[in-house]
Amino acid sequence: MDKIWGQAREELQKIVGADSFATWIEPLRLAGVTDGTAVIACPTRFLSDWVSRHYSDDILKVLDRVGGPVHRLNFETRSPVIRQAANSVEPRPQPAPRAVDEELTAPLDQRFTFDNFVVGKPNELAHAAARRVAEGGPVTFNPLFLYGGVGLGKTHLMHAIAREIQARQPEARVLYLSAEQFMYRFVQALRDRTVMDFKELFRTVSVLMVDDVQFIAGKDSTQEEFFHTFNTLVDQGKQIVISADRAPGEIKDMEERIKSRLQCGLVVDLHPTDYELRLGILQSKTDVFRLQYPGLQLAPGVLEFLAHRITSNVRVLEGALQRLFAFASLMGREITLDMTQECLADILRANDRKVSIEEIQRKVAEHYNIRLSDMIGPKRVRTVARPRQIAMYLSKQMTSRSLPEIGRRFGGRDHTTIMHGVRKIEELRSADRSLAEDIDLLRRLLEA
């Protein structure tokens, strides 16, 4: 069976494409073939319904060819290996179009465009400068130096610039590569005694873009060569764009004259993301995932929860959302707050901001001008009960405590009371703008 299914999978991947294959076919197994009926084991009912509706004909045709005769398919839901399967649906990198200089330039990721780049306060200057360079025209600042911490969008902006320039000026020679590639090319040229060709190649480009320039710090001959290349291009009025993980002045073991050259143009910083930017990015990525996983429902409050709890960097945020969609799709369930906490427990733990339930209760009580003791007391009047529910909601959102634990901290209330409170606020949030604003404010105060 394994051999037949192995061959069938290869053929199916060609027919349906890598992404659909990873999402829909990869988790399936061929359990057996009896009297022309193939039994396909699916980890969830959702998956079996979807596959039988959309891929039955393809599967039947392929199985008939490689393991035939097969006239019918029978989909059975069998216990899944969820985590493994969830891991396997990571979207494959798309084949990337290459920039003008096929031989030298690094491949550009087609997802990294200006359209897909979400702009907020922390990155608006970097974005504006990148756009300006991408528009072409007279070189006003040279180089453009973009820097910022891990996963904040430097490479994304670099690729977007390269693509945009290529689209606007197809004749321009845009050379985009990492500083590491620059060094390897240079070392290779030294070894092959083709340094003159190397120099010539670099010096004839229209736009040079070098990612992660901090890599060449401490590598003397590479720095020297980079410095000459840089100067020649600047003298010729060619645009240079550089990225690094820190400001030029802070790159250790980089020659002073290079540092000062790197600071000659415009140096812009991609700041760590704030809540609004993270939420914007999550909304934009969700639109993409919805196309990939049609029909999946996302409960209100989940994106806000992620934007609050995952603050490390955009790459982690994106990975978390991707895992969530894949998991929900395999389980055939709506993405709820509970599922999010279960599925992303490791990421959430790593990002835990350590806000305590007591702090939440104190802040909420102060904000609504009620006594702290009312948080745990029995009063049911709305002026007390509503703030208490808000504190329950924030405790669920901002800590990794379970519902029973939260219940204990709210005067020994049952976990179903906490669940009711959390749901109530989730509902009210979408309907009541001023309540939603209050909650956001409280969150910000607690995070500060």
Ligand X SMILES: Nc1ncnc2c1ncn2[C@@H]1O[C@H](COP(=O)(O)OP(=O)(O)OP(=O)(O)O)[C@@H](O)[C@H]1O
Quote the least distance from Cβ 151 to ligand X, whole Å: 4
Q: Decide if residue 167 touches ligand X (CB under 6 A).
A: no
In the complex, least distance from residue 207 CB atom to ligand X, rounded to whole angstroms: 18
Nearer to ligand X, 42 or 281 (CB): 281
Contacts of 245 (CB under 8 A, 6+ apart): 147, 148, 149, 150, 154, 212, 214
**Does 121 count as an annotated binding residue?**
no
Residue 278 interacts with ligand X (CB under 6 A): yes or no: no
Check residue 281 for interaction with ligand X (CB under 6 A).
yes
Under rule CB under 6 A, residue 8 binds ligand X: no
Q: Site map for ligand X, 190-229, x if CB under 6 A?
A: ----------------------------------------
Number of Cβ atoms within 10 Å of the Cβ of 271: 17
Per the CB < 8 A criterion, the answer to whether 145 and 263 are in contact is: yes
CA atoms within 13 A on the CB side of 440: 15
Q: How far is the CB of 400 from ligand X (least distance, A)?
A: 24
What's the min distance (Å) between Cβ of 20 and ligand X?
Answer: 21
Q: Does 121 bind ligand X (CB under 6 A)?
A: no
Q: How far is the CB of 122 from ligand X (least distance, A)?
A: 9
Give the three-class secondary structure for 311: coil
C-alpha span between 394 and 447 (Å, rounded): 12
Q: Judged by CB under 6 A, which stretch of 135-143, 144-152, 394-402, 434-442 contacts ligand X?
A: 144-152
Based on CB atoms, which residue is closest to ligand X, 245 or 438?
245
In this chain, which stretch among 100-108, 111-119, 296-304, 424-432 interacts with ligand X, using CB under 6 A?
Answer: 111-119
174 is written with which tokens? Answer: 């845009």
Q: Does 345 bind ligand X (CB under 6 A)?
A: no
**Candidate residues 27, 43, 143, 151; the one interacting with ligand X per rule CB under 6 A:** 151
Nearer to ligand X, 318 or 359 (CB): 318
CB–CB of 274/121 below 8 Å?
yes
Q: Which of 51, 89, 156, 365 binds ligand X (CB under 6 A)?
A: 156
Among 117, 182, 186, 393, binds ligand X (CB under 6 A): 117
**Residue 318 interacts with ligand X (CB under 6 A)?**
yes
Separation CA 257–CA 243 (nearest Å):
18
Q: Determine whether the annotation assigns residue 295 to a binding site.
A: no
154 labelled as ligand-binding? yes
Residue of closest CB approach to ligand X: 153
The single-letter code of the amino acid at 330 is: L
Give 210's contacts (C-beta < 8 A, 6+ positions apart).
177, 178, 179, 182, 226, 240, 241, 242, 243
- Interaction between residue 144 and ligand X (CB under 6 A): no
Identify the bridge partners of residue 77 per DSSP, sorted by sequence position.
Answer: 42
Return the residue of 41, 152, 343, 375 that touches ligand X, per CB under 6 A.
Answer: 152
Residues 6+ away with beta carbon under 8 Å from 31:
1, 39, 40, 41, 76, 78
154 vs 386, beta carbon nearer ligand X: 154
Report which residue type is found at 381.
V
Q: Which amino acid is at 43?
A: P
245 binds ligand X (CB under 6 A): yes
**Which C-beta is closer to ligand X: that of 23 or that of 155?**
155
Task: Assess 112 for contact with ligand X (CB under 6 A).
Answer: yes
What does each C-alpha distance from 152 to 268, 297, 318, 443 come to in angstroms? 13, 28, 11, 23
118 is a contact residue toward ligand X (CB under 6 A): yes
Phi/psi for 268 (5° steps) reads: -125, 145
One-letter amino acid identity for 362?
A: R
Q: Cα 227 to chain center, whole Å?
A: 34
| Residue 135: Cβ within 10 Å count | 11
Assigned token pair, 406: 């939260």
Q: 232 a known binding residue?
A: no
What are the binding residues for ATP?
151, 153-155
Q: Which spans of this chain sit near ligand X (rule: CB under 6 A)?
A: 112, 116-118, 123, 148, 150-156, 245, 281, 314-315, 318
